Structure 1
Amino acid sequence: MTVTGAICAGLLPTSAAAEQITVFAAASMTNAMARIEQDFEARTGHDLVVSLAGTSVLARQIQQGAPADIFISANADWMDALEQDGLIEPGTRFDLLANALVLVAHGKDAKPVAIGPDMDLAGLVGDGRMAMALVDAVPAGIYGKASLESLGLWDGVAPAVVQADNVRAALRLVASGEAGLGIVYATDAVAEKDVSVIGSFPADSHPPIVYPAADIAGRDLPAETEFLDYLRGPEAREAFEQQGFVVMAR
């Protein structure tokens, strides 16, 4: 196609020069980031490379020099650690999203339960397994364990907990029936048709689930600023809200 034809077709990027940026994002953002990647590239002409994994894995990779440009964490503590290491561009960090923690069961029509200190969670698990993300490293697992401890339920179910590398892996264990129950984010449950949300954990039983975003120190590309601005815009908001996130950024 000629340049003139491309302009007429509206195919040229809106930016002066197309750039490639790498975004490290928490695994719980998988579905939303797939849409955001497509929309941002179409709108700007930039190439967005998205790497999804457990927040702890991504943060450690950044600490070890991985070539990330943007980091979106599912946990403020890991972002704090990178900031303390001087790995975050000053003034670029902001709280992007909030989430909730839910109990899911295998299948589409599982019976709802009331989650609280009087709940017989161990009896509900029975001889089966309960899937969680790594409880000492991955945010979803950390939040889940904190909630169970707060409610006095952790000791009763700890022997039945099977830990996965990230929250999406824990979700897959429940969806496949390898675990009868699982603790995941509300947004993960939306993304899987073979599980049922049977209860929501009280918000005051665990630390607030906040997803900060920031520019990683090092390269200084206009596309990085464009992407952070895009995350605050209406297209990204729609993508996040469609997956059940609460958007905090304005």
Structure 2
Amino acid sequence: MRRRFLLLSPAPALFSPQRLGAQEPVTVFAAASLTDALRELGRSWEARGNSAPRLSFAASSALARQIEQGAPADLFMSADEPWADYLAERGLLAEGTRSSPLGNALVLVAPADRARAVDLARGTDMLALLGGGRLATGDPSNVPAGRYAREALTWMGQWDRIAPRLARADNVRSALLLVERGEAPLGIVYATDAMASPGVRVIGTFPPESHTAITYPFALTRRGAGNNRARALLEFLRGPEAAGAWQRFGFSMR
């Protein structure tokens, strides 16, 4: 009896592990204050024929700890240097990929319908400005915006008086929301966050000398070190094409 054999063709390349991996988006862990600008830049990156990046926003502290615990991030974008240092000291950032291309300013905001300009100088009475309310900002124990706020209030000689009156938010956008809703009469946020919200108005800008310079370190993680797509995205985000978008959203280029 003649036997018949069925010849099996190789599986289509579409289903190979290599092909699936090539289509996997780059995962970006980014500070909450980068939300609007980075979403726009993600769309620009996708329009160039790339897979849309997977974006995760939160306080830099929360993101750094998630990476430490094994979260699959390829790129880390922090709102301060200490949380990038935290990961670098643990060997979780790719060497030679870190730079800090962006800067920001620290501002005092109030609900737009009751905003009145104030002078933020040494000795300014913040309690008088607050009235009976609380001052919204990121939690100074771990959120970068809160750390900058604590430095600025200390420089003003107001920290000890204001600390018990803080509304401590888990990230800067949450602090902004408290002011937008009128749940806090004042908030300390970044200038870029204030620009993003029609519900608040900047009533004062803290002098640069009142706090550490606000910088945003970008770096590949150890997981993303060998990912050429992640490396290309990093170069795009800190390159000349992205600079216009960052500046349009209020960031300064360094």
Q: Does the TM-score normalized on the shorter chain lie above 0.5?
A: yes
- Gapped regions of structure 2 (runs ≥ 5): 1-21
Q: Out of 75, 78, 101, which is 2:83 matched to?
A: 78
C-alpha separation between the residues in 2 aligned to 1:65 and 1:44? 29
Q: CA-to-partner distance for each residue in 1:38-82, whole Å, 9 max, x for gaps?
A: 111111322300000000000000000100000000010110111
Secondary structure of the residue aligned to 2:53 is: strand
1:122 matched residue in structure 2: 127
The whole-number CA distance in structure 1 between the counterparts of 2:229 and 2:113 is: 42
Q: Which SS does the other structure have where 1:87 is aligned?
A: coil
Q: 1:235 to 1:18 in 2, by over 3 A?
A: farther
CA distance in 2, matches of 1:104, 1:235: 31
Please report how far the alpha carbon of residue 155 of structure 1 lies from its aligned counterpart in structure 2 after TM superposition.
1.7
Q: Matched residues, percent identical?
A: 47
Report whether the alignment pairs 1:227 with 2:225.
no
Deviation per residue, 1:114-138 (Å, 9 max, x gap): 0011311110101011101111100
Distance 1:232 1:164 in 2: 29
Bigger CA radius of gyration: 2
Name the amino acid aligned to 1:140.
A
Partner Cα distance (2:113, 2:47) in 1: 36
Report the Cα offset of residue 154 of structure 1.
Answer: 1.1
Runs (4+) of structure 1 moved beyond 3 Å?
none
Conserved? CA contact 1:187–1:244, under 8 Å: yes
Worse overlay, 86-95 or 150-159: 150-159
Q: Which stretch shifts more, 195-204 or 213-222?
A: 213-222
Contact 2:72 2:223 in 1 (8 A): no
| 1:197 aligned partner | 202
Tell me how far apart the structure 1 counterparts of residues 127 and 177 of structure 2 sit (CA, whole Å).
Answer: 21
- Letter aligned with residue 229 of structure 1: E
Aligned to 2:25: 20
Matches of 1:108 and 1:204, distance apart in 2: 30
In the TM superposition, residue 243 of structure 1 has moved relative to its aligned partner by: 1.1
Q: CA RMSD in A?
A: 1.2
Contact 1:105 1:197 in 2 (8 A): yes
| Number of residue equivalences | 232
Query: Which amino acid is 2:201 matched to?
Result: S
Choose 217-226 or 92-101, whichever is displaced more. 217-226
> Scaled by the length of structure 2, what TM-score is found?
0.88
Residue 122 to residue 146, structure 1, CA distance change in 2 (3 Å): same
What's the counterpart of residue 7 of structure 1?
Answer: none
Give secondary structure in 2 for the equivalent of 1:177: coil
Is 1:147 the equivalent of 2:148? no
For the 8 Å contact 1:104–1:196, the answer to whether it is kept is: yes
Q: Structure 2: which amino acid aligns with 1:186?
A: A
What is the alpha-carbon distance in structure 2 between the residues aligned to residue 158 and residue 229 of structure 1? 40
Q: TM-score, normalised by structure 1?
A: 0.90
When structure 1 is superposed on structure 2, of 153-162 and 65-74 the one drifting more is 153-162
